[in-house]
Amino acid sequence: MAERRAKVMIRRHSAVTRITHWLNVLVISALLLSGLQIFNAHPALYWGAKSTFADPWLSMKKVEVGGEPRGVTTIGGHSFDTTGLFGWSGPEGAREQRGFPAWATVPSWRDLSAGRDWHFFFAWLFVVNGLVYWLWGLVGGHVRRDLLPARDQMAPRHILHEIVTHARLQFPKGDEARRYNVIQKLTYLSVVAGLLPLMLLTGLCMSPGFNATVPWLIDLFGGRQSARTIHFLSASGIILFIVVHLILVIVSGLWNNLRSMITGRYAIDVEGDRP
């Protein structure tokens, strides 16, 4: 008897999961780009309650070096020449002083008011979409089934095995592909239950109206400037997650993964016997 492989289509994602996923693609993209517009109004970050202008832990600015303008990014006391990208960007002959370049912000021109309008609108859309996702996930079993690791998946030997196979770009086949592996589950759970709520809460710390209602929230994060820094870092963590996520989507089967998030159907290989 010879072994053969056959493709079997399984139902991977519900309609609600797929809709909220694609809405999140739109919402988070708009939040990140408009957030950079807001950041550009003062491209520096601090720890504590107040801005210590002479001592930011991160800054992007233009400096004169030998009579020539250069973009310099400083992180923790270490400075880097980032001319053309951070601090001093734009086409040759038309460069301007700004933290992030025009192509990375919404709107692309300097407009703090418009950036805030975009940011707050999509922030509330993000909240509503997130509540729908969580409520449906809890009721429909998506959170328990797809995000919480099973007991057998949490064995140290199993986790180590998954780390090694991921590093080698070896992905589950057959029945193992019917569910998320432990690395996927822990990563998705840390993002949806950790980074995204943290980004939301620290964002609220920068709203004067919300601060007046819940003044203790700023203190929880160590002051307004610390909250702004944590907001920036959590957003950076989400960007890193998205980049890694997209790479893995491509190398593990672009069309199969896209189809599962569009139609809900995912193809897996099953082994059988051939006479």
- pLDDT score at 2: 47
* 264's tokens: 């809900």
Burial 212-234 (b: 16+ CB within 10 A, else e): eeeeebbeebebbbbbbbbbbbb
Same structural domain for residues 167 and 132? Answer: yes
- pLDDT score at 274: 43
Same structural domain for residues 12 and 76? Answer: no
- pLDDT score at 271: 62
> Tell me, what CATH number does 248's domain have?
1.20.950.20
Same structural domain for residues 185 and 236? Answer: yes
Count: domains in the chain: 2
Same structural domain for residues 231 and 269? Answer: yes
Rounded (10°) CA dihedral 132, 134, 139, 144: 150
pLDDT along the chain (275 residues), means of 10: 67 90 95 96 93 88 91 95 94 89 94 95 94 89 82 88 86 79 89 91 89 89 94 95 93 92 88 49
Nearest to 49 by CA among 169, 223, 220, 194: 223
Q: Which of 61, 83, 104 lies at the terminal end of a domain, its last residue?
A: 104
CA distance 157 to 41: 49
Same structural domain for residues 22 and 142? Answer: yes
Same structural domain for residues 77 and 205? Answer: no
Determine which helix (DSSP H) or strand (DSSP E) holds 264, and give its type and residue range: none
Asked if 19 and 137 touch (Cβ cutoff 8 Å), the reply is no
The pTM (predicted TM-score) of the whole model is 0.88
- pLDDT score at 5: 63
R_g (Cα) of the chain, nearest Å:
23
- pLDDT score at 59: 96
Asked if 76 and 64 touch (Cβ cutoff 8 Å), the reply is no
Asked if 102 and 89 touch (Cβ cutoff 8 Å), the reply is yes
Same structural domain for residues 144 and 230? Answer: yes
Supply the range of the domain harboring residue 83.
45-104
How many residues are there in the chain? 275
Same structural domain for residues 240 and 180? Answer: yes
- pLDDT score at 1: 44
Same structural domain for residues 93 and 162? Answer: no
- pLDDT score at 178: 78
- pLDDT score at 10: 87
Same structural domain for residues 205 and 84? Answer: no
Q: Which of 67, 88, 104 lies at the terminal end of a domain, its last residue?
A: 104
Look up tokens 């840390």; give the residue.
Answer: 190
Q: Which of 87, 104, 121 lies at the terminal end of a domain, its last residue?
A: 104
Same structural domain for residues 96 and 204? Answer: no
Same structural domain for residues 259 and 204? Answer: yes
